[in-house]
Amino acid sequence: MIAPTTTGKAPSLVRVPASTSADDVLSILQRDGGLIVEKLGDPVVIDQAWREIQPEINNDTFDHTGVTFAKESKRVCGLAGKSPTFATKLLTNPLYQEVANKLLGKTTTVWYGKEETTSTSLPQVTNTMAFWLGPGSQAQGLHRDDQCHHTRHPAKYETDLGIMFAGTPSRKINGATNVVPGSHLWDDERKPTMEEACPAELEKGDALIWLGSTYHGAGHNSTSDQYRLLLAGFMTPGWCRQDENQYLAIPLETIKSYPDNVQKLLGYQISRPYGGFVEQMEPIDFLKANGDYTKWVPGDLI
């Protein structure tokens, strides 16, 4: 496994190439709580995703500012529904999804009468969002993303895994995400401080991957003319409730236009056994029936 890059008392994050194995990424996550994967995203693909969401960035109808987000920043919620490119080419990144399956998937064995059965619940998307951080934006408070799932720490198991692709260079000066390495191992009484954090500085196409139990937060954009763009996706176990309701955030017609693997990631598959079925069917099969009950085919939900 790749050794920590922290020297002395200065916190830092490990940087690895996109060719790193899922097992090595997972080992680093379990040790440090986060890492940077260089050149994981294709800049051409990221530019296409940016073009798809730019009208949303320019739309001032929705104001998501408040305690959580600075007024100089903008967010695009429901990103997987507003950017087909993000949904089909970034969120589905093979390395990220393999790590998510290893970390968040769960297999259990139970008895049905005399028959022993084994079921595996696969992860689902819990949230997708674009972060557009403008000049003067103040630093976000350090926080854990697994708060939605009422996780107590140190966590017995993780309930969230995030990834952010850099759409622009992300530097300390323009608000790079602050991450506290090792904080996923802390209990709930320990308070994080900025002195324990380090900026996750990224080139365009690099990605930050981190655990939901790791303290982090957007940095302060101290520039007068630089904007920082991050495209983010988050996964959670199939048996957990999603942070963002994907069934309302993404129009049904958009969901139907996506390939099966994306539909499944967005929640249109059961959490085996039985979690989230419709008419004793997989939600994805129910979608394909398009409301025609004569095409309903109840299946094995274990």
CATH number at residue 66: 2.60.120.620
Strand partners, 228: 133
Task: Find the domain containing 207 and state its range.
Answer: 15-269
Please check whether residue 151 lies inside any domain of the structure.
yes
Dihedral angle sign, alpha carbons of residues 258, 261, 264, 270: positive
Please check whether residue 142 lies inside any domain of the structure.
yes
Q: What is the dihedral of CA 159, 235, 68, 166, to 10 degrees?
A: 130
Q: What is the predicted pLDDT for the residue at 9?
A: 66
Q: What is the predicted pLDDT for the residue at 70?
A: 60
Residues in the chain, pLDDT under 70: 1, 3-9, 60-71
* Cβ pair 100, 158 in contact under 8 A: no
Q: What is the predicted pLDDT for the residue at 58?
A: 86
Strands 124-133 and 198-199: unpaired
Q: What is the predicted pLDDT for the residue at 73?
A: 80
Q: What is the predicted pLDDT for the residue at 286?
A: 92
Q: What is the predicted pLDDT for the residue at 300?
A: 86
Please check whether residue 26 lies inside any domain of the structure.
yes
Q: What is the predicted pLDDT for the residue at 3?
A: 63
Q: pTM of this prediction?
A: 0.93
Please check whether residue 7 lies inside any domain of the structure.
no
Residue 243's alpha-carbon distances to 43, 90, 128, 160, 251, in angstroms, are 28, 19, 9, 10, 17
Question: Which residue matches tokens 């830092």?
Answer: 12
Question: Which residue matches tokens 């937060």?
Answer: 217
Amino acid at 102: K
Q: What is the predicted pLDDT for the residue at 67?
A: 47
> How many domains are contained in the chain?
1
Instruction: State in Å, rounded, how far the first CA of the chain is from the last one.
Output: 36
Calpha distance 283→302 (Å, rounded): 14
* Cβ pair 265, 125 in contact under 8 A: yes
Please check whether residue 212 lies inside any domain of the structure.
yes
Please check whether residue 83 lies inside any domain of the structure.
yes
